[in-house]
Amino acid sequence: MVSSQRSTGRLRTALNRIAGATALAQVVAAGALMGYAAVKRRGRRPYRFPTAPVAPITAGPDEVSVFTFGRDLYEQMLADIGSATSTVYFETFIWKADEVGERFRQALVDAAARGVDVYVVWDQFANLVVDPRFFHHLDGVHTQSQPVVAMAMPSLRNIGRDHRKLLIVDSKVAYVGGYNIGSTYADRWRDTHAKVVGPSVADLENVFVDHWNQRPYASLARRRRIPELRSPGSRRWDTEIDVHRNTPRVAVYPIRNMYLEAIDRASERIWMTQAYLIPDHDVLAALHEACERGVDVRIIIPAESNHVVADWLSRGYYERLLGYGVHLLLYQGAMVHAKTCTIDGIWSTIGTANIDRMSLQGNYEVNISVIGDQVASQMEEIFGIDSRNCLELDADQWRDRSVMAKFTEALLAPWRPFF
């Protein structure tokens, strides 16, 4: 009996040591990758990637404009804020305290000064590196921020970040997509945003209003000081645009199902662009089944993203995806941050959610999906332009990658559920 207990104790000790050594190796590997990536990025010059012209497109009773260059988008957003007469609702994940960030802050303050009701939400964790004084000078603006830690309501539902990017002006125009606010994103990142004019603006406005009115993390005293917003008065059923929003607080994550349903319906082509591709089992299975049906599946991903660890976690799926018949296109020269997909020349989505666990089952996100051949045609044109700036990953070459690369992918694989 004593001998058995000693053996069990030795085994437990050995397993604990192995687990500790593995965790340490993972941390060291991640640190080394991040350090190497930082050195590579140092001194890198901006790359002028190809973009598509912006033109309004009809989608039922709505009008949609698709932006693929940050400077063009920011000028339009700032112009709309500058002409606002009643309300501005602004929500962002990252808001840099740089030239672009300051222009947005001043535009919002100026709008409030002329009597516009301005409401702003940002994520605290995403802006930890931003001087907090930047957010202290939003004079006249109603503000809320997603806290780093929701100590008042400890729950897995309350650790999701506010990853949405929304702007709604005067209930007449809305913007949604992948662009954060900052000078880097203006001309160094390839992203996609949509401008919507028409009845579907009310659905995007409702996303902001619901989030603002929840105020789950504010103290009781602060809740009394935060004005409650009225929901949009009229929302139509007959639009070709649907709005899908992930809301961790109530454990609702429809964007994942939106993708699964769309992929499952595909009969000809699935052309997708993703900043961080870390699919779960069901998404992998859906893509596999699509390839088996003869669907042309192409996914644009960054050759090197701004999150090197996410890159290595994503690479662990490449061999499987290539084996299914998926074409993986590596975007060159710039970070591609778009979260888009277009299927069969009829269905498209633009939004904030990546194909990873944090976006599909963790964060506050919002995507629009559009049924319509005109928007799909524009999205296919954009995909074609982006494809010409990509190198397709060769399956045989990828299988022959170094043993060290394969080892690093396997070592970091347990981190996938956290990304």
Task: Identify how many contiguous H helices and E strands the chain contains and give both numbers.
Answer: 14, 18
Distances from the Cα of 417 to the Cα of 267, 314, 339, 358, 359, angstroms? 30, 12, 20, 8, 11
DSSP structural state of residue 135 = G
Cβ-contact 165, 191 below 8 angstroms = no
| The CATH classification of domain 250-418, taken from the options 3.40.50.920, 3.40.50.1370, 3.40.1160.10, 3.30.870.10 | 3.30.870.10
pLDDT score, position 214? 86
CA 394 to chain centre: 27
Taking each helix axis from N to C terminus, what angle separates 403-412 and 2-41, rounded to the nearest 10 degrees?
110
End-to-end CA, the chain: 45
Q: How far apart are CA 99 and CA 96, in angstroms?
A: 8
For 314, what's the count of Cα atoms within 13 Å in the CB-facing half-sphere? 22
Q: Which residues contact 154 (CB under 8 A, 6 or more apart)?
A: none
Looking up tokens 């100590």 gives 151
What is the residue-level pLDDT of the chain in tens, covering all 419 positions? 556 656 665 656 554 555 455 444 445 544 554 454 444 555 556 678 999 999 999 999 999 999 999 999 999 999 999 999 999 999 999 999 999 999 999 999 999 999 999 999 999 999 999 999 999 989 999 999 998 876 445 555 567 899 999 999 999 999 999 999 999 999 999 999 999 999 999 999 999 999 999 865 555 445 657 889 999 988 888 889 999 999 998 899 999 999 999 999 999 999 999 999 999 999 999 999 999 999 999 999 999 888 777 777 888 899 999 999 999 999 999 999 999 999 999 999 999 999 999 899 999 999 999 999 999 999 999 999 999 999 999 988 888 877 776 666 666 666 556 66
Among 285, 270, 248, 235, smallest CA distance to 348 is for: 270
Domain ranges of the chain: 56-239, 250-418
Looking up tokens 């299927």 gives 343
pLDDT score, position 176? 98
Does the model's pTM come out above 0.85? yes
According to DSSP H, which parts of 150-200 are helical?
183-187
Distances from the Cα of 295 to the Cα of 288, 290, 324, angstroms? 10, 5, 11
CA 187 to chain centre: 18
Domain 56-239: assigned CATH number: 3.30.870.10
Q: Which residues contact 11 (CB under 8 A, 6 or more apart)?
A: none
Mapped onto helix, strand or coil, the DSSP state of residue 224 is helix
Q: How far apart are CA 319 and CA 96, in angstroms?
A: 37
**Strand-strand pairing, 193-197 and 173-177:** antiparallel
pLDDT score, position 390? 97
Q: How far apart are CA 72 and CA 53, in angstroms?
A: 10
Among 347, 339, 277, smallest CA distance to 314 is for: 277
Q: How far apart are CA 329 and CA 343, in angstroms?
A: 17
Among 387, 353, 334, smallest CA distance to 278 is for: 353
